[in-house]
Structure 1
């Protein structure tokens, strides 16, 4: 419960910062140009911290990395509040530090979960963590908007800082018998950060299923997520004449993800890897639904399927990584996961708008849908992806499949 509470607080804080900064634009505290600069600084901090944190979390205590990353966010947010409309460079620096805290906690939390939760219960634990993130994403905007009427932008930023303080202080430490995450006695002096990160890359290369799944996930996020972030608002405005479709599709996506997390917490498909990749491919229905003027219900249904599918992928993916990767390299491999899958998402967002201007909305959406369907299908051809495992048979630790006589 302490790990769940800390992870939930960090997820809520990560989501809340850009939303609160967006409210600051509406209230006139900063301009849209300032917002772009602040979000860019946050992204740079995130990308810079992820690989370093992966090395440190394997070299030292995962709990310690969670502590310091949370404290970084807790300190950065009050600075952001104080400098918000006074100094854009100082605000950008504070946002970069907050982004670094967000990036650093991701691989550390992922590895810490493997220490705290025994293998037989990790899939349900990962589903519970995903469920918490989706609930906050669903309820957060309305609650934050209501709070903004009473507290104001600076007070909201201080509240986000308190969330980071919770993320830093609440989680308990893990304890693994193999001693992973600490420096074993008698081991030769460690090499630099770059060489240790390269060790994590070599560990990832030992698992072809991981590389294939990561490539598919990166492709889907870079195209499907970009279509959601850029094309959906445009289509909602131009084709349907209001923001109702945008709001409905976003809500349906989160509701589908909630349902997906609930389902995957209880089910164990026989071919879990292939089932997960099929769920990932369901994201293709989102850009597909935007290509023609269909009924708004069809768009919302497509986004609900995309949300359900992404959780049907995420939970087995995290669980398999925790199971298959060497414990003393888990944080580095997890940092590689976050670095590519979510780190490259801004590139897709930056490219899709010029692509729409050049080739047209329909062609770009068709290409995005094709990538979302094709990338997981190609990944499924790689050895080991059937069960997300390098073993010849289905891992027994994942539990019996639903309906099994076991």
Structure 2
């Protein structure tokens, strides 16, 4: 059985465990930062959008260069160093709050620095996985990681909501700092053989162009990348506006917001559980297309919500369906991208797509906040949903709908 082969790789199991621990902490911080900004620092929708953009700005500014550097070096030391550095950085947030120095400008700077370290970690993380398992089980490995992400998305916000209520948002962020320390320690113990990396060269521009060309001249990766940029732009808008809408517009508290995110994690677990059999039966392309249509269907429920029990049910349903869409198409997408890309280009391919995708959040998050302040939260949400419908139409009409995962890398 494929599952048995996957679990026969003990280094992957350890990698999976480290990922699981850090992800729970990450989702705690995601909610705690939003609550901290809105309820304690009294951020406006626009300021909340700027905070969301700050986390992803390094991806836009440095993502392509980081991809080149990751391809030049062994990835495990990069992962360990990034985890330990993020633990220290997050610890500065409660420290700043304790000494009375924490305001929105300080928080934005710290979040931007955290984003820079996450950029380095993410580029190495996605490129390291093909070293741990054979190509034949890449989709399943990504499905297991996606399931873990979904479980973390369920547990993290619930833990965050409780911690914020009990000890306050700044202290809740310490949970994430500790999770990174644990993750870094586990990753440091991995013994997977890695190539030593390419020797540094003076052809940075040439290497950047090679990575960009691989993605944007590829028959399937190109439409996948372009529509992904639109998807992240619009979901970045929703991420900002929905938080402000739920906490300020509808009057729900951090516990209710955490519950909606937790339902997103439940949907993600279900979607990731179906991802492998669905991809085997229908192919990676059709599954990715279905996932892209589920996102606007999910997010259309948010502006339809009102205060009270019915509104909370709609918000939970929206997050559940959104989580399901990511859990379903995420493993298929990552498995396809990793399978068709040569090892020497893995870092640049992942950094190109991830950095420009996250770069779209840099635009979408503040744009959503500005539109919400100018037109109202519901109008801003409907504009984002319309954009998501457009990207779903585009990907449906592209060659991606026929994509299949090959048996070996190109």
Same fold (TM over 0.5): yes
Residue 131 of structure 2: aligned partner: 115
1:144 aligns with 2:167: no
The CA deviation at 1:363 is 5.6
- Asked whether the 8 Å contact 1:283–1:303 carries over to 2, the reply is no
Note closer, same or farther for the CA distance 1:232–1:69 as it changes in structure 2 (3 Å cut).
Answer: closer
2:71 paired residue among 43, 46, 58: 58
Aligned to 1:15: 27
In structure 2, do the counterparts of structure 1 residues 198 and 120 end up closer, same or farther at CA, with 3 Å as the change threshold?
same
Which of residues 291, 296, 304 is equivalent to 1:279?
291
Between 191-200 and 117-126, the greater mean CA deviation after superposition:
191-200
| Aligned match of 1:204 | 215
Q: CA deviation at 1:116?
A: 0.5
Which has more helix, going by share of residues? 2
Looking at structure 1, the residues matched to 256 and 160 of structure 2 have their Cα atoms a distance apart, in angstroms, of 22
Higher mean alpha-carbon deviation, 279-288 vs 194-203, is at 194-203
Q: Is the contact between residue 213 and residue 385 of structure 1 (CA under 8 Å) also seen in structure 2?
A: no
Aligned equivalents of 1:90, 1:298: Cα separation in 2: 35
How many angstroms does 1:388 deviate by?
5.1
1:312-331 alignment runs, 5 A limit: 312-331=328-347
Q: Distance in 1 between matches of 2:304 and 2:91?
A: 46
Q: TM-score if structure 1 supplies the norm length?
A: 0.79
The answer on 1:79 being equivalent to 2:97 is no
Aligned residues of 2:150 and 2:267 also touching (Cα < 8 A)? no
Which residue matches 2:322? 306
Residues 38 and 288 of structure 1: is their aligned pair in 2 closer, same or farther, counting only changes over 3 Å? closer
Distance 1:4 1:162 in 2: 17
Structure 1 residues 193, 31: CA separation in 2 closer, same or farther (over 3 Å shift)? farther
Report the alpha carbon displacement of residue 205 of structure 1 after superposing the two structures with TM: 2.5
Q: Return closer, same or farther for 1:317/1:25 CA change in 2, 3 Å cut-off.
A: closer
CA deviations 1:269-315 (Å, max 9, x no partner) are: 32321221121211111333345569645664454333212222211
Structure 1 equivalent of residue 185 of structure 2: 169
The number of residues matched between the two structures is 384
Q: Is the 8 A contact 1:7 1:167 kept in 2?
A: yes
Secondary structure of 1:342's match? Answer: helix
Q: Given the alignment of the two structures, is residue 183 of structure 1 paired with residue 194 of structure 2, yes or no?
A: no
Q: Which residue of 2 aligns with 1:105?
A: 121
In structure 1, distance between residues paired with 2:303 and 2:165: 38
What secondary structure sits across from 1:100 in the alignment? Answer: helix
Measured at CA, do residues 206 and 173 of structure 1 come closer, stay the same or move farther in structure 2, by a change above 3 Å? farther
Contact 2:27 2:157 (C-alpha < 8 Å) held by counterparts: no
Whether the 8 Å CA contact 2:130–2:338 is kept in 1: the answer is: yes
Cα deviations across residues 181-230 of structure 1 (Å, max 9, x unaligned)?
6126xxxx612544422221122124231121122222123224523541
Where does 1:1-40 land on structure 2 (aligned, <5 Å)?
A: 1-22=13-34, 32=43
The structure-2 alpha-carbon separation of the partners of 1:310 and 1:35, relative to structure 1 and needing over 3 Å to count, comes to: closer
Quote how far apart the aligned CAs of 1:105 are: 0.6
Q: Which residue of 2 aligns with 1:289?
A: 301
Matched, 1:343 2:343: no
Q: Closer, same or farther in 2 for the Cα pair 1:168/1:193, shift >3 Å?
A: farther
The structure whose Rg is larger is: 1
**2: distance between equivalents of 1:51 and 1:173?**
28
Matches for 1:254-269 after TM superposition, within 5 Å = 254-267=265-278, 268-269=280-281
Q: Structure 2 unaligned runs (5+)?
A: 1-12
- Structure 1: any 5+ residue segments left out of the alignment? 390-394, 399-406
Give the Cα separation in 2 of the matches to 1:147 and 1:362.
30
- What secondary structure, in the 3-state scheme, does the structure 2 residue paired with 1:343 have? helix
Q: Which of 334, 343, 354 does residue 370 from structure 2 map onto?
A: 354
C-alpha change, 1:87 and 1:245, in structure 2 (3 Å) is: closer
Cross-structure match for 2:4: none
Instruction: Indicate the residue corresponding to 2:399 in structure 1.
Output: 383
Cα distance change of structure 1 residues 35 and 302 upon mapping to structure 2, 3 Å threshold = closer
Q: Is the 8 A contact 1:14 1:102 kept in 2?
A: no
Q: Which moved more, 1:31-40 or 1:68-77?
A: 31-40
Deviates more, 1:314-323 or 1:216-225: 216-225
User: After the TM superposition, which of the residue ranges 105-114 and 67-76 deviates more from structure 2?
Assistant: 67-76
Name the residue aligned to 1:215: 226
Distance in 2 of aligned mates of 1:200 and 1:293: 43
Matches of 1:299 and 1:232 in 2, distance apart? Answer: 11
Q: Matched residues in 2 for 1:326 and 1:207: separation?
A: 13
